[in-house]
Structure 1
Amino acid sequence: MRGRKVIVLCIVGAMFLLVACSPDNGAGDAQTLRVATDAEPGTFDWHQSTSGATQSATIQVLETLYSLDENYAPVPMLAESEPQVTNGGLTYVIPVRDDVTFHDGTSLDAQDVAASLERWGEVSSNGRSMFAQVDEVTATDDHEVTIVLSEPYDVVRALAVPIAAAAIMPRDIVEQYGSDVIEDVTDLVGSGPYRMVEWAKGRHYTMERFDDYTPADNGADGGLAAARPATYERVEVALVQDASTRYQSTSSGQYDVALNLPGDIYDEVEASGLTTRVVSPYYSQYLLLDTSEPPFDDPEVRRAVALALDEPSLAMAAYGHEDLFELNGAIYPVDMGVLSTEAGIDKYGEQNTDEASALLEASDYDGEPVVWMTSQALAPIYNFSIAAGEQLEAVGFNVEIDVTEWAAMNDRYTQPETWDMFSTAFGVGYAMPSFHLLLNGQFPYEDWYAYDDEMADLLTAWHTAESESEQSAVMAQIQTQFYGDRPAIKLADYAAVNGISPDVSLEDQGFYLPLWWNAEPA
């Protein structure tokens, strides 16, 4: 992965999710990879979930027409090649591979693709965004699908984003469930290197190797697009929420991989017999502000927040070790092709407490409490909230830390009257600006920031760009606009830390989530 820090360490210190864990606590055999993870999916229905836990599971099982390579560029996966684009960018004719077999033994055809895309457009947050510009999707031949748009859209990249993804399943499964969530994981029929066989909720889930898997001939050297036939016959992923237990049980041989180990035991894991892999970047952490009402409807008060914060000390407080974060102000980390730019980031990390205090004094802010909503469920979120709250207090803000349960915090996102600010993180898989929750006006509540304003116009300009160079230029404008508006303050890009048994070889995956087809006995 060009320039991407996938250091030969094997913990994962932020919020990783899957890996091999045995449900029976027994010692692993040579054909089973046992992973201990900190979170299980609420659903395995990839169309309907933006959860990292769902992504980590379903990328092993389901595939999309286009997928992201090691540079986060979209390349053909279930599509035979790039689409033929005509009619001023409004008609996409996509050839579908004729050598793909689903896990149920049926062959992929255009009817499966059309049905899957129609469902994705109905139930997926990302799908609905694209389908607002879609007039029709039809199977125009046995292995050809045609998408007709009402407005230009970056269809290929949209179909490659691995969050609430445009996964392709057999038409019979799609018609059976319609818009309902697919609850039975054995009905999660895909074409990937593994197939789902069991989900014991709250305990573990199991995948088995799909021996009829046929990889795409797309030239990808890494990333999600470089899927290949798997070595391990089974992958068993156990839910082990306590980090110390995940680490100790992997060190003792009960599991082969421990995901999402925290920064405060990073040095201990490095000194153990486990291989420590730091996968960076993994997520990017931000402080989001309620821009709909005082005091943060005032851009000068938002600028005061940015000037008050010292990102280096706050990142150490959040992540616990200098190896586990990178101070980078860009919306997308480096080496993500047209998405990566340094435009506007000269305003990142510009702490000036005197200027922050002066801006606050000159504003209409009258010292009313600003409510910082947080939760102790995730240490990086909570630790940053406490430390940053103290820095805001030092320049004149009256900060009220409101600690709540994680589930309650998620429910309150859409109730801005209950909070003024909170911290969260976004995975690098949001590999298209108009899908990125920081930019598209859909999160944390409908119409937040980038809805029907200058940023919305720039997101539209991305879709009308006719070349990668034009998209790069638009991305530079998007980031410059973001730093001018300051609806959120970026902390850092942080890493995932995974501990891996010396009996397992897990190649540099070139992707921010674990790819079990790259694992094999050492």
Structure 2
Amino acid sequence: MLLGAIATTVLGLGLSVAAGSAQAAPARGGAANLAMVGEPQGLDPMTSTADLVGTIMQHVYEPLYTFDANWKVAPMLAEGMPTVSKDGLSYTIAIRKGVKLHNGRDLTADDVVASLQRWMELSPRGKAVGKEVASLSAKGPNTVEMKLKQPYAPLLAQLALPSGMAAIMAKESIAPQITQFIGTGPYKFKERRPDQFTVLTRFDQYSARSEAPSGYAGKREALLDELRFVPVPSANTRVEGALSGQFQYADLLPVEATGRIEKGAPAVVPIVTKNFGFPYIVFNTKEGVLASQPMRRAVQTAVGSGELLAAGFGDNRFFVVEPNFFPKGTPYFSDAGSKLYNSRDPKAAKEEAAKAGYDGKPIRIMASRQYEFHYNMALVMSEQLKKAGFKTDLQVVDWATLVQRRNDAKLWDVYFTHSGLFPEPMLSPPQLGDGAPGWWETDSKKKTLTAFNTEVDPAKRSQLWGQVQQTVYDEVPFIEVGKFNSLSARSAKLEGYTPAIWPFFWNTGLAK
């Protein structure tokens, strides 16, 4: 049985703990070659929501808060959880004392304030938070006070996410374009050679927390001398490199490679992370063929998510076709909008498009083969749209180019991406925030999200989420395709590795 042969136990909504991780501490020293899906378009963790950037730079920068193995918010650079006023409008956060920045000086509240101000100006997620913030200030060398305009339930979770990270950096390094990557993490930036590697080295003055490791939280220790993140756009090359021992870790492998990875045992360990995330299709609501809601609804009617998932993952043990954004049994499960999911009705779609005034212009679909399942789903969607009378222009580009192009509303109509599955709905996708590619801004969005985010009672928030989900189905800023599990692989010599949505390599060593 496939999954039974893979030594991974899954916790929560995607964070995992590898079997055997409670053994003796991993060895110290050595360098790990880590095969990533491609070249990051940059290394600024605030300006990009791309997982690849977050994966690399979470080793260099740290947030005030992070997530433990059960997706609970836990302190990282903050001393502990914040002191919150009775009205829920004032957050006082004590900063850990004695934390060293990579330039050798101590972290202060001024660094935190400057970093968060930049995050609220540049990051799509940060901009959403910034709209809720009345003031942000340092109250002494190790205390920060944030005052809100109204209660905002997702605040701490927003500060904790590695993607589009609220990274804390040295204030003197802050600029519109960062050229010095000075953080507090267990690794520091050494060198980047585009299309070859990004190298991080151990930070010997790192100030670790004392708590036991748990997910992204607790004690972090840089055991490896170097982390070498290598862009390997070809999924097959990542598979071959893992099997040959060229790479100690290979990220996001195609499902069809499972058998080969298993045969590589015991030298290679396959890793399945359940409920890893969901693929989704973003629509350009600002310009182009799909700027009007009736046109997006017509496309929605043409799309069959089941076919897309089957094309993307093949093996039905790796995907689930379901309309709910959150799995059954979780607080935000809702079937709102489900009647609009997985329609695959070309006749009805063609009629809707005609009523919407479709003029025959091609729908430009962007996808990257670096995520093979994106590409395979895009091929099928293109055919589904053609059956409904649409013309399509499938543009296959590398991931870095896609991430760059999606910021220009004149260049695309649809693009494929995916997200991790998190317990706080506002963490993903970025289109629920402000200013993310797609530029979805409507009165209905504002109304439903304001009601959802200002409600701090978990039970009431759970009910309000259904209204948000219904609004997404009605206005079609994106299509949530379904759920999927991911496949990666590591060398058996890579000890202490904990599978996670954004792979991390602190507390990880190489057997001698």
User: Into which bin does the TM-score normalised by the smaller protein fall?
Assistant: 0.7 to 0.9
1:230-309 correspondence runs (5 A): 230-273=222-265, 274-291=268-285, 302-309=296-303
- In structure 1, how many angstroms separate the alpha carbons of the residues matched to 2:62 and 2:404? 31
* Cα displacement string for residues 217-268 of structure 1 (whole angstroms, at most 9, x for unaligned residues): 567x632224522333332222333333332233222321122323343332
The 3 A distance-change label for structure 1 pair 334 and 7 is farther
DSSP-derived class of the 1:224 partner: coil
Q: Which residue of 2 aligns with 1:205?
A: 198
1:2 pairs with one of 3, 11, 24:
11
1:330-341 correspondence runs (5 A): 330-332=324-326, 340-341=332-333
DSSP-derived class of the 2:139 partner: strand
Q: Which residue of 1 aligns with 2:174?
A: 178
DSSP-derived class of the 2:175 partner: coil
1:394-433 correspondence runs (5 A): 394=387, 396-403=388-395, 405-406=397-398, 409-410=402-403, 413=406, 419-428=412-421, 431=424, 433=426
* 1:231 partner letter: L
Root mean square deviation, CA, Å: 3.5
The 3 A distance-change label for structure 1 pair 431 and 370 is farther
| Residue 152 of structure 1, CA deviation | 3.6
Structure 1 residue 464 corresponds to structure 2 residue 464: no
- In structure 2, how many angstroms separate the alpha carbons of the residues matched to 1:490 and 1:386? 17
Q: Which residue of 1 aligns with 2:169?
A: 169
Q: Which residue of 1 aligns with 2:503?
A: 514
* Cα displacement string for residues 141-182 of structure 1 (whole angstroms, at most 9, x for unaligned residues): 232111223344343222112222121223xxx22x332322
* 1:223 partner letter: G
| Residue 441 of structure 1, CA deviation | 5.0
| Aligned residues of 2:37 and 2:233 also touching (Cα < 8 A) | yes
DSSP-derived class of the 2:46 partner: helix
Moved more, 421-430 or 113-122: 421-430
Q: Which residue of 2 aligns with 1:19?
A: none
2:383 pairs with one of 390, 395, 403:
390
| Aligned residues of 2:161 and 2:427 also touching (Cα < 8 A) | no
Structure 1 residue 488 corresponds to structure 2 residue 478: yes
| Aligned residues of 2:298 and 2:353 also touching (Cα < 8 A) | no
| Residue 39 of structure 1, CA deviation | 1.9
The 3 A distance-change label for structure 1 pair 515 and 408 is closer
Q: Which residue of 2 aligns with 1:443?
A: 436
The 3 A distance-change label for structure 1 pair 294 and 54 is closer
* 1:236 partner letter: R
Q: Which residue of 2 aligns with 1:16?
A: none
| Residue 56 of structure 1, CA deviation | 0.8
* Cα displacement string for residues 393-427 of structure 1 (whole angstroms, at most 9, x for unaligned residues): 33x33232342534665555456566544433334
* Cα displacement string for residues 69-121 of structure 1 (whole angstroms, at most 9, x for unaligned residues): 23333222111222222373332211222253334443333233223223323
- In structure 2, how many angstroms separate the alpha carbons of the residues matched to 1:468 and 1:310? 33
Percent of aligned positions that are identical:
26
- In structure 2, how many angstroms separate the alpha carbons of the residues matched to 1:319 and 1:227? 36
| Aligned residues of 1:126 and 1:435 also touching (Cα < 8 A) | no
* Cα displacement string for residues 41-76 of structure 1 (whole angstroms, at most 9, x for unaligned residues): 333222333222211111122211111223333222
| Aligned residues of 1:434 and 1:459 also touching (Cα < 8 A) | no
Q: Which residue of 2 aligns with 1:34?
A: 33
DSSP-derived class of the 2:482 partner: strand
Moved more, 303-312 or 361-370: 361-370
- In structure 1, how many angstroms separate the alpha carbons of the residues matched to 2:343 and 2:124? 36
The 3 A distance-change label for structure 1 pair 255 and 390 is closer
* 2:318 partner letter: L
- In structure 1, how many angstroms separate the alpha carbons of the residues matched to 2:182 and 2:434? 33
* 1:179 partner letter: A
DSSP-derived class of the 1:129 partner: helix
The 3 A distance-change label for structure 1 pair 366 and 190 is closer
1:109-188 correspondence runs (5 A): 109-153=108-152, 154-170=154-170, 174-175=171-172, 177-184=173-180, 188=181
Q: Which residue of 2 aligns with 1:474?
A: 464
| Aligned residues of 2:12 and 2:71 also touching (Cα < 8 A) | no
| Aligned residues of 1:211 and 1:229 also touching (Cα < 8 A) | no
| Residue 453 of structure 1, CA deviation | 1.2
- In structure 2, how many angstroms separate the alpha carbons of the residues matched to 1:354 and 1:374? 21
Runs of 5+ consecutive residues of structure 1 not aligned to the other structure = 11-27
Q: Which residue of 2 aligns with 1:68?
A: 67
DSSP-derived class of the 1:477 partner: helix
- In structure 2, how many angstroms separate the alpha carbons of the residues matched to 1:391 and 1:238? 36
| Residue 373 of structure 1, CA deviation | 1.9
Moved more, 461-470 or 451-460: 461-470
Structure 1 residue 371 corresponds to structure 2 residue 363: yes
* 1:514 partner letter: P
| Residue 503 of structure 1, CA deviation | 1.8
Runs of 5+ consecutive residues of structure 2 not aligned to the other structure = 1-9, 20-26
The two structures have a TM-score, normalised by structure 1, of 0.81
DSSP-derived class of the 2:184 partner: coil
| Aligned residues of 2:235 and 2:254 also touching (Cα < 8 A) | yes
| Residue 331 of structure 1, CA deviation | 3.3
* 1:278 partner letter: V
The 3 A distance-change label for structure 1 pair 286 and 116 is closer
- In structure 2, how many angstroms separate the alpha carbons of the residues matched to 1:444 and 1:53? 17
- In structure 1, how many angstroms separate the alpha carbons of the residues matched to 2:112 and 2:253? 38
| Residue 288 of structure 1, CA deviation | 3.3
- In structure 1, how many angstroms separate the alpha carbons of the residues matched to 2:28 and 2:189? 20
* 1:493 partner letter: K
Structure 1 residue 317 corresponds to structure 2 residue 306: no
DSSP-derived class of the 2:278 partner: strand
The 3 A distance-change label for structure 1 pair 411 and 301 is same
- In structure 1, how many angstroms separate the alpha carbons of the residues matched to 2:448 and 2:68? 25
- In structure 2, how many angstroms separate the alpha carbons of the residues matched to 1:364 and 1:44? 42
* 1:195 partner letter: K
Moved more, 52-61 or 407-416: 407-416
- In structure 2, how many angstroms separate the alpha carbons of the residues matched to 1:404 and 1:217? 47
- In structure 2, how many angstroms separate the alpha carbons of the residues matched to 1:491 and 1:467? 29
* 1:156 partner letter: L
- In structure 2, how many angstroms separate the alpha carbons of the residues matched to 1:440 and 1:422? 18
- In structure 1, how many angstroms separate the alpha carbons of the residues matched to 2:383 and 2:116? 48
- In structure 2, how many angstroms separate the alpha carbons of the residues matched to 1:247 and 1:93? 48
